[in-house]
């Protein structure tokens, strides 16, 4: 099976002192033999007057030093000969530089340490977090869980209620990603679907030949659909959780109860004003879920297949 993660972009952060993001990228790269590009922005330090950066006037030596530091960290994490590229940026804002790197390279996965958003500020400016989770078409892995778990578990969250073709493709892409990541740490897969309960209307099914027939419950309908999704993925064998609940409440709770290492969710990235002001489900979930989060977008499948 070919990897859907072929080129990982790691966005370095000064707050990731333990190199958790780079470690995740190395783990995926070793499993799938993929390229890693590490990006670090010093735009604010160079251009924002409120930063007393102490950077030299000649930045060429500084860039070489930063590249060397990243190489040293990389070599401490693995002795394998992985394909590594390092980009140090200071001339353009981080979002602009990240978008340019993605457009110029066949990036298939972006990894970054999770930073809680200032939602009010985001009404007026495009932060790196909002760009990655809402505008970037690639899968984005937000690293949050720093604990070493005795058993690594993945929680793949499907939306069965939405039967549009876009959402069906999104569900399959979530399972594709799960299928690729299960061997990473011999992970245990859990599949979660939240449904809104049984219909309040009464339907009487009658057939002239066979008489009255038992109606099919919402839960049974969802289970049947999930079985079809799973059957389309040869290496998927997970525990299914069908919960009559709201996803915003149940996904973080289930992730905590199962002690998962990675939660995979979809985001249809509706970006009208009210979602920007109040927040959409994916934005809410990235704040609430305590594990790492892999956010899959509707365009992720086509982008990854084209690589």
Same fold, 1-113 and 145-307: yes
CA 50 to mean position of chain CA atoms: 33
How many angstroms separate the CA atoms of 104 and 236, rounded? 33
User: What are residue 98's phi and psi, to 5 degrees?
Assistant: -65, -45
What mean pLDDT is predicted for residues 249-268?
93
pLDDT single digits (tens) 135-146: 888 999 999 866
Give 278 or 82, the one with higher predicted confidence.
82
- The structural domains of the chain, with segments of one domain joined by +, span 1-113, 145-307
**More confident site: 88 or 306:** 88
**CA torsion angle for 135, 136, 141, 145 (degrees, to 10)?**
-30
Whether pLDDT at 132 is above 60: yes
Instruction: Tell me the pLDDT band of 40, cut-offs 50, 70 and 90.
Output: very high
Cα–Cα distance list, 70 to 45, 67, 273, 276 (Å): 18, 5, 39, 35
Can you tell me which residue has the tokens 């760009």?
A: 131
Q: Could you say which of 3.20.20.70, 3.60.15.10, 3.40.50.620, 3.90.550.10 is the CATH number of the domain covering 1-113?
A: 3.40.50.620
pTM of the model: 0.85
- Whether residue 218 is predicted with pLDDT greater than 80 in this model: the reply is yes
39 within 8 A of 12, measured Cβ to Cβ: yes
Which range of 24-38, 113-127, 187-201 scores highest in mean pLDDT? It is: 24-38
Which of 108, 84, 110 is CA-nearest to residue 97? 110
Q: Any idea which of 1-15, 95-109, 290-304 has the lowest mean pLDDT?
A: 290-304
Helices (H), the chain: 20-32, 43-47, 59-77, 94-104, 128-130, 165-181, 218-231, 247-258, 273-278, 281-288, 300-305
**Higher-confidence residue: 42 or 8?**
8
Length of the chain: 307
Asked if residue 150 has pLDDT above 50, the reply is yes
Confidence (pLDDT) at 267 = 85
- Res. 299: pLDDT tops 90: no
pLDDT for the residue numbered 60: 84
First-last CA distance in the chain:
15
CATH T-level assignment (fold) for domain 145-307: Rossmann fold (3.40.50)
Q: Looking at residue 251, what is its pLDDT?
A: 95
């Amino acid at each position: 099976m070919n990897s859907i993660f072929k080129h990982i972009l790691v966005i370095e952060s000064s707050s990731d002192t333990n190199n958790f993001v780079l470690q995740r990228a190395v783990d995926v790269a070793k499993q799938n033999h993929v390229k890693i590009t590490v990006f670090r922005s010093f735009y604010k330090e160079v251009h924002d007057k409120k930063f007393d950066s102490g950077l030299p006037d000649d930045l060429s030596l500084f860039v070489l030093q930063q590249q060397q530091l990243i190489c040293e960290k990389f070599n401490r994490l693995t002795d394998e000969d992985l394909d590594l590229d390092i980009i140090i940026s200071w001339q353009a804002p981080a979002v602009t530089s990240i978008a340019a790197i993605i457009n110029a390279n066949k990036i298939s996965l972006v990894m970054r340490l999770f930073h809680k958003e200032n939602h009010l500020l985001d009404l007026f400016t495009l932060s790196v977090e909002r760009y990655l989770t809402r505008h970037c078409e690639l899968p984005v892995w937000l690293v949050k869980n720093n604990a070493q778990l005795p058993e690594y578990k993945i929680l793949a969250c499907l939306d069965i209620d939405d039967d549009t073709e876009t959402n069906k493709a999104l569900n399959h892409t979530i399972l594709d990603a799960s299928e690729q990541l299960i061997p990473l740490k011999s992970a245990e897969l859990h599949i979660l679907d939240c449904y809104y309960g049984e219909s309040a209307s009464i339907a009487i099914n009658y057939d002239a030949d066979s008489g009255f027939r038992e109606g099919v419950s919402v839960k049974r309908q969802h289970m049947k659909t999930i079985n079809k999704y799973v059957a389309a993925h040869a290496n998927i064998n997970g525990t299914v959780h069908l919960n009559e609940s709201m996803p915003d409440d149940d996904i973080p709770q289930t992730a905590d109860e199962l002690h998962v290492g990675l939660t995979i969710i979809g985001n249809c990235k509706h970006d009208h004003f009210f979602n920007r002001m109040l927040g959409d489900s994916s934005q809410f979930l990235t704040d609430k879920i305590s594990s790492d989060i892999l956010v899959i977008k509707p365009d992720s499948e086509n982008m990854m297949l084209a690589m």
